[in-house]
Chain A
Amino acid sequence: MPEPAEMSMDELQQLADRAGLGMSREEVEALKPVYDLYAGYARQLHEIDFGSTEMIVEYHPDWPEE
């Protein structure tokens, strides 16, 4: 699987604009190190071999099931 390229400042600005965050260029530049941290987290999650594991958004308090 090809490694995703690091996001450029222009691409991050476009992403923030598409999300409607209304960020100035200066704010986007300040955000970049934090974004890179979380993009790394997301990349790590996409590399997991989940097999047939379903996602469970609703958290069931009385687990684990026997």
Chain B
Amino acid sequence: MATSDTQLHFLTIHQAGELMRKGELSPVELTRACLDRIADTDDRLHSFIMLLADDALEQARVAEAEILRGEYRGHMHGIPFALKDLYDTAGVRTTSGSQVDINRVPAEDATTTARLKAAGGILLGKLAMHEFALGGPDWTTPFEPACNPWNLAHITGGSSSGSGSSVASGQALGALGSCTGGSIRGPASLCGIVGLKPTYGRVSRAGVVTLSWSQDHAGPMTWTVEDTAYMLQAIAGHDPKDPTSSKAPVPDYSLSLREDIRGVRIGLPRHYFFDPDPSVNPEVVATVEKAISELESLGASVEEVSLPSLDYIRAANSVIMVSEAYAYHEPNLKSRPQEFGEIVRERFRIGGLMSAADYLQAQRARTLARREFAEVMRKVDFLVTPTMTQPAPAFEGYDPVSTARGRSFTAPFNVTGLPAISVPCGFTESGLPIGLQIAGKPFDEPGVIQAAYTYQQHARWYETRPAI
């Protein structure tokens, strides 16, 4: 199997899968192309914490032999992917981006890791992340922060920072991120890729290092919507190892890759996501407004909806997050605090200073918000918003505390558990990507994927890659 294409690393999962299925591309050739791409770019991007080149090539040889024997397993077979370094990998160090876990070697794969391997995926390595999935770029941790492929002086967003930079730059065809307040959709938006936070319970959290049990989600980050559907297919489904895992049946997500949103009802919570606010960039809002007009032109109807709970939903997300994180990390925080980076050490300590009443009021707020969102989602099919309040900020002058003071466009869907996807919808004048967020009803990943796919195929932003 051989191909003369010199840009193999820019193939999508869909394209590569088609070529492999037809015997026109070898998993070994594709894996080598990704490893070469990593060698060419990672001194500038810092996407990878650990590269597993030899293992990846060995897995690729196995996949190649299987495919040649006619044992093609599906869309992920022979596809090089990478994991945020909080997904457990049996026998392979999993650091969560922290000195605290610098020597931690899990005995078992996370359920999601195991499922991607079982689908035939080729694990390239473990990716950079904000320490324990919180905060921001922190030079007091052992690893260099990942840089944005669209402009290396800018952050990728986080906490799935390496997932964003690796997929956008063609180092990996897909990656898994994790998301507690926006850590999949945020870097997807800022790096110009697709990121899906599934419904809470849709994808197992077993073997994914905890930030906040009740708000953590695992999900795919890819170049296109169809690739997200394929990765989701491989990892979704009930897992007895995760007590919050749903037994809802897993549909065939590839059936949603159809261009049709005629008759779809879109809700716009303008008061929070679109009205002027000091923390929201007008260029982002204008770009998303244009994307919404395009959705209307494709047959969707748009109506304004009111969600008063948005005013306090970030407070609930934040208080629950640090309280649960403190409960999880308390032993290490007390016994070896110096091993945490400065940003995360402070945030986790705040969790120890919150009261039981604070946490319980946050959970009651969440109950109110969930009820309110459920009511609105009976009237509309999707909520459509900007994914982020800003394009990717520059490293210079970046202050995670200031950022935390503004609105969060992603956290509402962690608090409510609704599925939400970010799909590229344009660029700023300075060339930084902007994302469109589409959130759906519980377990309506098929609808979310179809709406995002329809927009993607119409807008075709995926045709533009970063020049790195």
* Contacts of B191-232 to chain A: CB distance below 8 A: 199-202, 214
Which positions 13-52 of chain A face chain B at CB distance < 8 Å?
15-16, 19-23, 30-31, 33-35, 37-38, 40-42, 44-46, 48, 50
The answer, yes or no, to whether B286 is at the interface (CB within 8 Å) is no
- Residues in A with CB closer than 8 Å to B202 are 61
B358:A42 contact, CB within 8 angstroms: yes
List which B303-336 residues lie within 8 A (CB) of chain A. 312, 314-316, 318-319, 322, 333-334
Q: How far is the CB of A9 from chain B (nearest CB, A)?
A: 14
Asked if residues A61 and B417 are in contact (CB atoms below 8 Å), the reply is: yes
A61 nearest CB neighbor, chain B only: B201
When distances are taken between beta carbons in the complex, the residues of chain B under 8 Å from A55 are: 360-361, 363-364, 367
Q: Determine whether the beta carbon of A37 is less than 8 Å from that of B362.
A: no
B346 near A: Cβ within 8 Å?
yes
CA distance A63 to B201 in the complex (A): 11
Q: Do B367 and A56 touch (CB < 8 A)? A: yes
Docked-complex contact A59 and B417, CB < 8 angstroms: yes
Chain A, residue nearest B404 (CB)? A37
> In whole angstroms, how far apart are the Cα atoms of A22 and B349 in the complex?
10
List, in ascending order, chain A residues with CB within 8 A of B366's CB: 56
A53 and B368: CB pair below 8 A? Answer: yes
Which residues of the other chain, A, contact B319 by a CB distance below 8 angstroms?
A: 38, 41-42, 45
Which of B164-172, B241-249, B262-270 participates in binding chain A? B241-249
Per the bound structure, the CA–CA distance linking A31 and B368 in Å amounts to: 31
Asked whether, in the complex, the Cβ of A21 is within 8 Å of the Cβ of B349, the reply is yes
| B153 contacts chain A at the CB level, 8 A cutoff | no
A53 in contact with B367 (CB, 8 Å): yes
- Mostly, the B contact residues are helix
Q: A21-B352, A50-B364 are in contact. Are A63 and B417 (CB under 8 A)?
A: yes
Q: Are B353 and A57 in touch, CB under 8 angstroms?
A: no
Number of residues in A with C-beta < 8 Å to the partner?
33
User: Cβ of A3 < 8 Å from any Cβ of B?
Assistant: no
Interface residue? A6 (CB, 8 A) = no
Q: Give Cα A8–Cα B352 distance, bound, in whole angstroms.
A: 18
Bound together, the chains give a CA A42 to CA B355 distance in angstroms of 9
Q: Which residues of B contact A57 (CB under 8 A)?
A: 214, 360, 363
A46–B363 CB distance below 8 A: no
Q: How far is the CB of B141 from chain A (nearest CB, A)?
A: 17
Q: Which residues of B contact A45 (CB under 8 A)?
A: 312, 315-316, 319, 358, 361-362, 365
- Chain B: interface residue count, which band? 35 or more
Does B350 reach chain A (CB closer than 8 Å)? Answer: yes
Once bound together, how far apart are the Cα atoms of A33 and B402, in whole Å? Answer: 10
A19 to B367 Cα, complex, angstroms: 28
Q: Quick one: CB contact mask for B238-259 with A, threshold 8 Å, 1 for yes?
A: 0000001110100000000000
Bound Cα distance A14, B404 (Å): 26
Tell me the smallest distance from the CB of B205 to a CB of chain A, in Å. 11
Is the Cβ of B401 less than 8 Å from the Cβ of A61? no
B315 and A42: CB pair below 8 A?
yes
CB neighbours (8 Å) of B401 from chain A are: 33-34, 37
Smallest beta-carbon distance A18→chain B, Å: 9
Task: Decide yes or no: A56 and B363 within 8 Å by CB, A16-B353, A21-B333, A37-B401 being known contacts.
Answer: yes
Given the interface contacts A22-B334, A45-B319, does A31 sit within 8 Å of B349 by beta carbon? yes
Contacts known (A37-B404, A38-B354, A42-B358); A48 close to B312, Cβ less than 8 A = yes
A residues adjacent to B (C-beta < 8 A): 12, 15-16, 19-23, 30-31, 33-35, 37-38, 40-42, 44-46, 48, 50, 53-57, 59, 61-64
Residues of chain B having any CB pair with chain A under 8 Å: 199-202, 214, 244-246, 248, 312, 314-316, 318-319, 322, 333-334, 337, 346-347, 349-350, 352-355, 357-358, 360-368, 370-371, 374, 377, 401, 404-405, 417, 442-443
Instruction: For the complex of A and B, list the 6 residue pairs with the smallest distance between their C-beta atoms, beginning with the closest.
Output: A61-B201, A64-B374, A41-B315, A61-B246, A45-B361, A42-B358
For the complex with contacts A34-B401, A41-B318, 15 further pairs of A-B residues with Cβ separation under 8 Å are: A16-B349, A22-B337, A31-B350, A37-B401, A38-B322, A38-B350, A42-B358, A45-B312, A50-B365, A54-B367, A55-B367, A56-B367, A57-B214, A61-B244, A64-B371
